[in-house]
Amino acid sequence: MSTVETIDKNKVKFTFSVDAETFEKGMNYSYNKNKNSINIQGFRRGKAPRKLIEAHYGKAVFYDDAINFVLPEAYEKAVEENALEVVSKPDIDVVSLDDSGVTFSAEVFVKPEVKLGEYKGLTYTKKEVNPTDEEIDAQIKNDLEKASRTVTVTDRPIQDGDIATIDFKGYVDDVAFEGGEGKDFDLNIGSHTFIDNFEEQLVGHNVGDDVTVNVTFPEDYGQKDLAGKAAKFEVEVKNIKVKEIPELTDEFVEDTTEFDNIKDYRNDICGKLLAQNIQRADAEKEEELINKLCDGAEVDIPQPMIDSDVDMKIQEYAYQLQQQGLSLDMYLQYMGQTVDSMKEAYKPLSEKHVKARLVLEAIAKAENVEVSDEDIKNEAEKVAKSYGIEADQVMKSPDFVKTVKDDLSRQKALKLVEEAASEEKPEKAAKKEAKAKAKTAKKEAKEEKKEDKKASK
């Protein structure tokens, strides 16, 4: 049996015990695991009886592994018995350990309570989905650039828009700094890939030129030892290339697409853009409604929930980089960042995402949203198909059912909100937003005036 006490907002401490019989199983496990590494005179390794080892070294020699053996199941059982929705790693201590067993205490953060605002009858801004001529032209320009070819330039210096192949090495106070060197690097002039006015200083130089580029790192540069410092780069221009973009003609269309002329090609692009715009409008509607749900709700989010989401986002990004043949460490070095600065950058987004999840879960609970076995099975089949395995294998994953159930529950809650919402024209939405901002500003000014009055006294 366990006891629970609240020690802070959304943080509880609970105690739970393992009886003597169960702990004895843990001690036997620990003995079998460690006996081969314990030396007792007169016995070959692994052959000394447990009682003799305990008499020689003390029972405590087996405690660590015995505790690790019994703790996970006991902890999970206590969490389940007390219906705790734990959202952090536990901080566990051993309270007592004697012949009657072992007693633990655990401090954890639990899922916070959400005070919902209005979630029915919300409004969202109507979006125009029909593609404009500008959108179509931009897509055509993008297609033409993809079909471009890169040619080497030999008869002129670097111009804006060129691709300059360079070797470079950076110095601060005449000392080369880590991460400031590159060879055969293709730099798009005008892309502002490098800091300050690095690229501009290469314009006008020819292949074979050695160029000294002077820059100053920004004050908020991720690599603190370089932030705000003047730097010098020794650069060698090795090659100049330029993209040759083809002209849009019926012949180009016929050669590079499934269409025979520009008109049919434009119509196809228009159809694809329409589908994309509809999809984007749906996503923007969801985001707008979720923002309104979050603005209207009150919840005190435990920091471990935000930290966990940040870590997950960084892991996902690291995986994406890995697929491109780049490690996270290399990326951070190249961008002048650290893991800590990356975490800080992610925190506001993670806080927003965590709050959205909590609010949607609260709506699902308030509306008694149910996820059927059939719903879960369908999701398992989708996952199984993508990995080329059987759905039964997916269902056996210990976290799959819970994760999918939570995801589908939130999706259904959002769908309920969307079905109860109505669209309004952008002009009306803009007026309403301006009115809300003015009201907030007025309230803030009133509070500031009140604080000034207090200070003057």
Q: What integer pLDDT is reported at residue 431 of this predicted model?
A: 59
Residue 237 DSSP symbol: E
Residue 36 host element (H or E): none
For the residues 69-82, what does the mean pLDDT come to? 94
Domain ranges of the chain: 3-109, 112-148+249-299, 151-244
Longest C-alpha distance within the chain, in Å? Answer: 95
Distances (CA, A) of 22 to 31, 66, 111, 382: 15, 10, 31, 42
Q: What integer pLDDT is reported at residue 226 of this predicted model?
A: 84
Range name among 228-237, 280-289, 446-455 with the lowest pLDDT average: 446-455
- Is 87 in contact with 56 (CB distance < 8 Å)? no
Q: What integer pLDDT is reported at residue 306 of this predicted model?
A: 96
Q: Tell me the three state secondary structure of residue 104.
A: strand
Residue 293 has pLDDT above 80, yes or no: yes
Q: For the segment 342-398, what is each residue's pLDDT rounded down to a tens digit? A: 999 999 999 999 999 999 999 999 999 999 989 888 888 888 888 888 888 888 887
Q: Does domain 151-244 correspond to CATH entry 3.10.50.40?
A: yes
Cα–Cα dist 337/225, whole Å: 11
Q: For the segment 173-205, what is each residue's pLDDT rounded down to a tens digit? A: 988 888 888 899 999 998 888 887 899 999 999
The token pair that represents 113 in the structure block: 């309570």
Average pLDDT over all residues of the chain: 90
C-alpha closest to that of 154 among 211, 205, 206, 203: 206
Q: Tell me the three state secondary structure of residue 376.
A: helix
Q: What integer pLDDT is reported at residue 457 of this predicted model?
A: 59
Q: For the segment 17-26, what is each residue's pLDDT rounded down to a tens digit? A: 999 999 999 9
Torsion sign, CA atoms 279, 281, 287, 292: negative
The token pair that represents 265 in the structure block: 């090609």
Beta strand spans in 250-314 (E): none
Range name among 217-221, 403-407, 420-424 with the lowest pLDDT average: 217-221
Two domains, one topology: 3-109 and 151-244: no
Query: Strand 163-172 to strand 175-188: parallel, antiparallel, or no bridges (unpaired)?
Result: antiparallel
The token pair that represents 354 in the structure block: 């965590």
Q: For the segment 122-169, what is each residue's pLDDT rounded down to a tens digit? A: 999 999 999 999 999 999 999 998 998 889 999 999 999 899 999 999
Residue 247 DSSP symbol: P
- CATH dotted code for 3-109: 3.30.70.1050
C-alpha closest to that of 83 among 111, 113, 115, 116: 111
454 residue type, one letter: K
Question: What's the full length of the chain, in residues?
Answer: 457
